[in-house]
Each structure stands twice: as C-alpha cells, then as structure tokens.
C-alpha cells in the first residue's frame, strides 16, 4: 500500500506488508528486537478447552495467533483462531486466519462468539471505550482476555522518543533531503559543472553537519541508517543515475514518514498509571471483570508494558 490521505492505517500496512511476524519493540541495550512473549502466551492459551474460538486483536503479522495454535498443538487439541487488524495484512502462512481492514471499534462478529481474546500492543491504539465494548460483546460469558499494553515508562516508549529525537537531528527540518534532491536534479538537468559541484558540495556539507549532530549515540539506529544512506549518496554521487537516486530519495522519505507515524502513535497509545486506571474503569463499565493488572518485564528486567487480564462478566 502506498501513502494515502484517505487511508489512516497506511503506515501500519507498510510495516506488515513483508509478513513480519513480530511486533515492533525494543531490547534493553537499546537495540530494536521483538519482545519475546511466547511463554506467557502459551501459558494463557493452554488454559482453553479443546475447540475454543480465539480472537487476536490488532494481530499484525499473527505472532500471537501463532502462539495460540502452538498451544493447541502442544495440548493435543484444536482451536479456531482468527486475528484482526486495522491495517491491510498479507495472506496468512499459519494455521490461523488473519483479516485486515477491521476496526477494533466495529468487529465483524456475532455476539458471544469467542471463548478467549488476546492483544499484544494493539487495543490501546483504538478508541478504547468502543474497542472494550466490542470486546465484551463478542466474548462468551466467563471468557478471558489477556492484553499486553504499552506503558508510558517502558523501554519501548523511551526508545521511540530517543529515536524520533535523533532522526530530527539528522533530517534538519528536511534540509538534508532537499539538498540531496537539488544535487541530483542538477545532474539530471545537465547544469554547468560549477552548478553541479556547488550542489554536491552543499549536500556533502549538510551530511557532515548531520553526522556531527548525531554523534555516536548507539541507540539512534534509524537515524544512523538513514544518515548512512545519505552519506553514500553524497560520497558517490557520480556512481548513481540521477533518476535512480531521486527515486530512492522519494522511497526513503515515504519510509521515514511511515516510521514516524508508527512511533508517534505508539507514544500516544502508551498509558501511565492514571490512564490505565481509566482504561480498567471503562472495561468494568462494559461488563468486563479485571482479574489482573501488573507491569510486564522482559528477561532482562526491563519494563516493557502492562499485563492486563479481563473476563467477560456472567
């Protein structure tokens, strides 16, 4: 999917297009990696009876849906697992069904359809009141739901802020890509040698300034990758066909825009203590019993989110 003013989820569709199985999270050393929650999810799904219908909300690439199927296989039973997501999704390669273009605020299922539900860094992106009402509607009485949700103080949220700040320093308010385009358009237009050299020099100097601003912050991976791409263009401009370089710049700009939107939406969705209290109050108001509220940590004792367990009342 390409960027569209009418498609509010294009930046997520762009991310899941390559059939990534994992969510976008972080490691304790600042390196981005999938948060491994396999043990947690296998434990949850192993509680379910044979033949259970399971709904995974904001499923993305189907990582948690896959854990549900794995738990069923390990328990020598079968589940019917469906994952839904607002974004467009590739065809499922697993023993589950993935459905894209689904709003959590308007689930396409009959009432009391599911025996359990899950969400890993997903439900908090939606209109929470409406999404909780729909979750309560489609769950059978007594059915459990386990949610892993973004935390205001998690390493994931902290890294999103760090990465955005670093990319801002590199991009210089758009100056870097603007000067890159000017350099290759000068080549494309066959301007005089002096004008081409002046455009190339301005681009190289902008790259050097961006390198100084970024420094050696090992956490700034996205900014460092982008700057490496720009440094290669600046240092080897004669090796690139102008049309090819300009196309690569357009693709990089779109990728950066998508990445920024994902990071900003993640930060906005993260809940502090007050936000979580409000979320749980909304859950209770919609017929969901709160069975557990806890902070979730990874294997390195880094805070990665909230762990919330709900149950359909009745």
Distance between CA atoms of 149 and 271, rounded to whole angstroms? Answer: 8
Q: What pLDDT sits at residue 298?
A: 83
Query: Residue 116's closest CA among 62, 50, 70?
Result: 50
pTM: 0.87
Distance between CA atoms of 225 and 251, rounded to whole angstroms? Answer: 14
How far, CA to CA in Å, does 224 sit from each of 11, 162, 166, 213? 21, 12, 8, 11
Distance between CA atoms of 219 and 163, rounded to whole angstroms? Answer: 7
Beta bridge partners of 236: none
Q: What pLDDT sits at residue 160?
A: 92
Phi first, then psi: what are they for 290, rounded to 5°? -90, 115
> SS3 letters for the chain?
CCCCCCCCCHHHHHHHCCCCCCCCCCCCCCCCCCCCCHHHHHHHHCCCCCCCEEEEECCCCCHHHHHHHHHHHHCCCCCEEEEECCCCCCCCCCCCEEECCCCCCCCCCCCCCECEEEEECCHHHCCHHHHHHHHHHHECCCCEEEEEECECCCHHHHHHHHHHHHHHHHHHHHHHHHHHHHHHHHHHCCCCHHHHHHHHHHHHHHHHHHHHHHCCCCCCHHHHHHHHHHHHHHHCHHHCCHHHHHHHHHHHHHHHHHHHHHHHHHHHHCECHHHHHHHHHHHHHCCEEEEEEEEEECCCCCEEEEEEEEEECC
Q: From its phi and psi, is residue 33 left (phi > 0), alpha (psi between -120 and 50) or beta? A: beta
Distance between CA atoms of 105 and 126, rounded to whole angstroms? Answer: 7
Q: What pLDDT sits at residue 29?
A: 43
Distance between CA atoms of 30 and 17, rounded to whole angstroms? Answer: 25
Integer-rounded Cα Rg, in Å, for the chain is 23
Q: What pLDDT sits at residue 28?
A: 40
N residues, the chain: 314
Q: What pLDDT sits at residue 8?
A: 64
At 42, list the tokens.
């296998």
Distance between CA atoms of 147 and 57, rounded to whole angstroms? Answer: 9
Q: Are 103 and 93 in contact (CB under 8 A)?
A: no
Q: What pLDDT sits at residue 24?
A: 47
Distance between CA atoms of 19 and 22, rounded to whole angstroms? Answer: 9
What are the 10-residue block averages of pLDDT along the chain, 314 residues in total?
51 68 47 68 97 96 94 96 92 86 96 98 96 98 98 94 92 92 95 94 96 84 93 92 96 91 94 98 98 91 94 92
């Amino acid at each position: 999917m390409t960027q569209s003013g009418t498609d509010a989820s294009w930046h997520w569709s762009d991310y899941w297009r390559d059939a990534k199985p994992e969510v976008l999270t972080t490691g304790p050393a600042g390196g981005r990696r999938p948060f491994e929650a396999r043990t947690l999810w296998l434990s949850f799904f192993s509680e379910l009876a044979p033949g259970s219908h399971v709904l995974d909300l904001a499923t993305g690439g189907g990582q948690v849906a896959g854990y549900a199927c794995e738990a069923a296989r390990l328990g020598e039973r079968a589940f019917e697992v469906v994952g839904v997501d607002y974004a467009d999704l590739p065809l499922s390669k697993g023993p589950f069904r993935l459905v894209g273009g689904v709003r959590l605020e308007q689930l396409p299922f009959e009432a009391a359809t599911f025996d359990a539900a899950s969400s890993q860094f997903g439900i908090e992106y939606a209109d929470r009141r409406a999404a909780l009402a729909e979750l309560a509607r489609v769950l059978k009485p007594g059915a459990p739901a386990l949610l892993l949700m973004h935390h205001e103080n998690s390493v994931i949220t902290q890294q999103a802020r760090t990465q955005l700040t670093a990319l801002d320093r590199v991009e210089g308010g758009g100056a870097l890509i603007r000067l890159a385009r000017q350099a290759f358009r000068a080549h494309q237009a066959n301007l005089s040698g002096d004008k081409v050299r002046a455009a190339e020099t301005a681009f190289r100097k902008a790259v050097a300034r961006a390198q100084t601003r970024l420094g050696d912050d090992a956490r700034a991976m996205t900014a460092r990758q982008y700057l490496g791409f720009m440094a290669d263009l600046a240092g080897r401009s004669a090796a690139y066909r102008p049309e090819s370089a300009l196309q690569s710049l357009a693709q990089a700009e779109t990728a950066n825009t998508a990445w920024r939107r994902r990071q900003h939406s993640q930060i906005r969705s993260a809940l502090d203590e007050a936000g979580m209290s409000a979320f749980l109050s909304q859950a209770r108001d919609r017929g969901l019993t709160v069975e557990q509220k806890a902070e979730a940590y990874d294997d390195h004792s880094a805070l990665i989110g909230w762990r919330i367990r709900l149950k359909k009342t009745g």
